[in-house]
Each structure stands twice: as structure tokens, then as C-alpha cells.
Amino acid sequence: MQAALFFALLVLQGGGVVWHDVHAFGVEGKAWKGTKAPFDRLPAKAEAKVRKAVWDLSRDSAGMCVRFATDATAIHVRWKLTKKRLAMSQMPATGVSGVDLYVRHEGQWRWLAVGWPEFPVSSARLVAHLAKTQRQYLLYLPLYNGVSSVEIGVPSDAKIEKGKAPKHKPIVFYGTSITHGACASRPGMAHPAIVGRRLGYPIVNLGFSGNGRLETEVAELMAEVDAAVYILDCCPNLSGDEAGKRLGPCVRALRAKHPATPILVVEDRTYPSSFLVSHLRKRNSENRKSLRAAFDVLVTAGQKNLHYLRGEELLGVDGDDTVDGSHPTDLGFQRQAAAFLRVLRGILPR
């Protein structure tokens, strides 16, 4: 009798919502098991290996997502953030610290709902009034904040289970703030996420804001992940000299363990104000020249399965697709995803 009363109170308190830790379903985009905290992007051992800035940024949950299947008529999410700063001046809190829900519908991933963050614990009913039909869902975690726990809540009469995961090896992105997700309005709109949805591949996001610097210690960590493709997209955080000097060691660090896996080398996106601001035009030009020369050296030296994406293909020609002259908006990310998809479709096995 007492137990029944206690249970009734519990359900009442939770509004009839039963909460499930997402570890029950698995966290995609997390490439290592031995992490210091449950949603870290790099393994615990990396703390002694990479620069502090890289380590600190690796604790953001960028690129992580959870696949689940449920017949729930409503879906709730509760997530605990690690950082108080919910937003950036040029990126909204929904992208920095929010969660983003997609659903499989007629053979495609369709956006369904976003979760607005609060510090430290956010709890949101993402969607309600759904027909009681089993569906596949994909929940993206915050791009520029960390999470210490994530739970999915469904009504007590709902079934919920692990979702169908892609069978492919992941596409591993190593990059800058742009790869990290600045400045998407929601986590699902960063280009690695769009690429993953469109291709049906898992992705691993190793974007480190301001600190994607083609470092061999990061490449050595990447090489621990058995990837479908490795993407090296660090130019915006490097001078021309650095871009040229660092490409070779990074590629060789990957090749030491993966002699044949495709590697995609990406130039820096065109600064949209570079048509008037000459030092930005110069920076684009020097970075590209230097990266291309280093790439050609690798090819000439016999490296196989190296691919190249030109920077001028990444954004549009109207100059209107960044928020600040550097970071894509959702418009820029959609265009950038299209550029990656064009080249990746030629690289990935059919």
C-alpha cells in the first residue's frame, strides 16, 4: 500500500514521464570509451598529450547524438550543462547549449524540435500530440557546451529502445570553430551533422574553436579511430606557413595506422569581406597556396587516396552566409554541407 502510494507520487511528480539515461541507447560521435567524463570528445589520456585549450574544448559535446526508437506521444529531454555561458554574441543559446531532435520520416531525417537550454539543468518537452507509432529519432547534443547527463523522458505507457545505428565506420572531422559548429542555430545544423544525416554515416566532430591547428598529437589520436574518411579542415586557424608545414606530419600520422583510408584535405573558406579587405584576401590566397603545395608534395611522394576540397566551394557567392565574416549561419552550413557531400559521395564506397 505504501509502495503503491510512493509510486503514484513519483509518477505525479514526474507528470507521468519516465526518464531514461541516454547511455541505455548509446552515444554516437563519441569515439573513445576511456574518457574522463561521460560526454568528452577525447580520451582521458589526451589531457597529458594535447594543448590545454584543445583539451578544454574537447569537453564540449559537439557532434554527439543519441539514436532511439519510441512510440511515445510526447518526448521530453533533460540535460545538465557543464558551462554557465549559454550563448555567444553571434550564436544563439539553442546552438551553443541546446539539444536538437530529428525523426525518420518517409526515408529521410526531418527536423522536429529544439530544446532551449537553462543552466545548470534544462528540462524540455520537445514535442507532444504525436500519434502512438514507433519511430526512429536522432537527438543532437550541445555544440559549444558540455553535458554531464542527458535523459530522454517518455510517457509511462511508451516503449523506448536503442535506435537503428548506421553500420558504416564514422567520418572523422578535424577542424576549427566552424567544424565545432559556430554559428549554427541548432546542433543539427552544423555541417558535420548535416553530412552525417544525408549520408547515413556516423560522424565524429573534432572541431576545436580557434585551436584546430593540424597538430600531430591530435592526428595520432584520430588514427586510433577506424574511420571511413578522415577530414583535415584546419586552415582557418593557421597561417599559410603553418598550413603547409603541418599537413605532411598529420597525414603521415594517419597513414602510419591507416595506409589506405581516404583523407580529405580542406582549404579555408573564402572570407566574405575579402573582396574589399585585402589582408583577408591575402590570407585566403597564402593559406591555399601553401596547403595545396604541401598536398601536391604528398601526392608526388606516392600517397594514395588523398582528396582535396577547394575553399571557394565552401560558401556561396552572395557573401551573405556568415554571421561575422568567418562563421557560417545555417545558410552557410547548408552550403558547406553541400560542398562536402559532393566530394564525399565520390570518396565513400557505394
**In the complex, least distance from residue 219 CB atom to a copy of itself, rounded to whole angstroms:** 32
Calculated CA dihedral for residues 286, 291, 294, 296, nearest 10 degrees: -110
**In the complex, least distance from residue 127 CB atom to a copy of itself, rounded to whole angstroms:** 7
Helices 191-199 and 330-347: crossing angle in degrees, nearest 10, is 40
**In the complex, least distance from residue 328 CB atom to a copy of itself, rounded to whole angstroms:** 9
Decide if 97 contacts 87 (C-beta within 8 A).
yes
| Site of grid cell 601536391 | 296
Q: Which is nearer to a copy of itself, 110 or 304 (CB)?
A: 110
Distances (CA, A) of 197 to 1, 108, 206, 293: 49, 8, 17, 33
**In the complex, least distance from residue 217 CB atom to a copy of itself, rounded to whole angstroms:** 33
Distances (CA, A) of 10 to 100, 126, 158, 210, 313: 28, 21, 17, 46, 55
Helices 278-300 and 240-257: crossing angle in degrees, nearest 10, is 30
Q: Which is nearer to a copy of itself, 182 or 343 (CB)?
A: 182
Q: Which is nearer to a copy of itself, 225 or 331 (CB)?
A: 331
Return residues touching a copy of itself (CB under 8 A). 86-94, 98, 103, 105, 110-114, 116-117, 127-131, 183, 185-186, 188-189, 272-273, 275-279, 318-321, 323-325, 329-332, 334
**In the complex, least distance from residue 109 CB atom to a copy of itself, rounded to whole angstroms:** 9
Q: Which is nearer to a copy of itself, 63 or 187 (CB)?
A: 187
Grid cell in block for residue 231: 577530414
Cα 109 to chain centroid, rounded: 16
Q: Which is nearer to a copy of itself, 315 or 344 (CB)?
A: 315
